Amino acid sequence: MADHYEVLGVDRQASADDIKKAYRRLARELHPDVNPSAEAAERFKLVTHAYDVLSDPQQRQQYDLGGSGGFGGASGFGGFGDIFETFFGGGQQQRGPRSRRERGQDALLRVEVDLDEIVFGTTRTIEVDTAILCSTCEGSCCSPGTSPQTCDICRGSGQIQRTVRSLLGNVMTSSPCGSCRGYGTVIPSPCPTCAGQGRVRARRAIPVDIPAGVDTGVRIQLPSQGEVGPAGGPNGDLYLEIKVKTHDTFSRNGDDLLATVEVQMTDAILGTTVVLPGLDGDVPVEIKPGTQSAEIITIKERGITRLRGSGRGDLKIGVQVVTPVRLNSKETELIRQFASSRRPVPPQFSTFQQGIFAKLRDRFLNL
């Protein structure tokens, strides 16, 4: 048998406090709950037995005089539970029966909204296929007029205790009762509607406020709007993930709205005012004389309401000047007269110009 002092890593003159500290350090390292290996379990047995002997003055004196200090001697500990109660504050405490009521699971739904709905926010009613409280038993899980009965196997404790003999003596173990599954009660007559679950599946309509300014990927939390838990337990939460649909005319850049307007060459030259349909009503747009393609016209406060902060973004309109292609003879003659009246400027190379849509895109991105 290994020397008890060597097992604990202390010398023969070690004080009782030194022995206790050495055992505490080794027990925390080797206990099966911390280190489940077979080697650690064997070492833990040796360490525990060595401490049992050396922590008791009479057994230590007998061991120092050449006694065996074997298993089964008088010891101040009844097993692993008593040891851990001494050193780790409480040890293995008996647990009571677990509750049938549990919190319901959270749920995630994806909701598509139109771009015009998020300008000022909107209200939606969504239908959710979820678990709701059973109206027959109201979460009791029992048939009407009946109730749960105390388990006659565990007597309501939800646990079965067994005494196991080991090298350290008798060790008390505890495990959930197989008859009641740890609840401490059994249901002799389950509810026929929910089969003893306390909840049923159903479709539920939920009104949802979608705030202004949300964007694709934003998640909205609806507390306690998820499924009800088993046995009428608390509801989980419902999360809505927003997806904003693509609009045919407008696109989004943060809180700003972007659009393109086609302008006839004569309107770009002389200037004009047009009224265009916006997401929240008509928008008057002033085309100033001499407007060039790819210029940006900004209409303040006609964008999307800011999700955080106050006010709205802007509506930014890119101008595309349209050159007429098919002219009649009179129109052609007028254009020639116009051209001849201006000082001729001979064509020459200049900086490469992108297409109208590429230029608009770059200008929008650089706003």
Positions at the binding site for Zn(2+)? 134, 137, 151, 154, 177, 180, 191, 194
Token couple for 210: 């979608």
First to last CA, the chain: 83
CB-based contact 9:19 (threshold 8 Å):
no
Token couple for 312: 């709205």
Adjacency order of strands within the sheet including 256-264: 251-253, 256-264, 315-322, 296-299
Residue type at position 17: D
CB-based contact 216:243 (threshold 8 Å):
yes
Name 121's Cβ contacts closer than 8 Å, sequence gap at least 6: 209, 210, 211, 212, 213, 305
Token couple for 107: 């749920």
Token couple for 14: 């070690």
Give the DSSP letter of residue 117: G
Token couple for 197: 């679950």
Detail the residues annotated as belonging to a binding site.
Answer: 134, 137, 151, 154, 177, 180, 191, 194
CB-based contact 104:131 (threshold 8 Å):
yes
Alpha helices by DSSP H, listed for the chain, are 4-8, 16-30, 38-54, 57-64, 80-88, 265-270, 329-341, 356-365
Tallying the residues shown for the chain, one arrives at 367
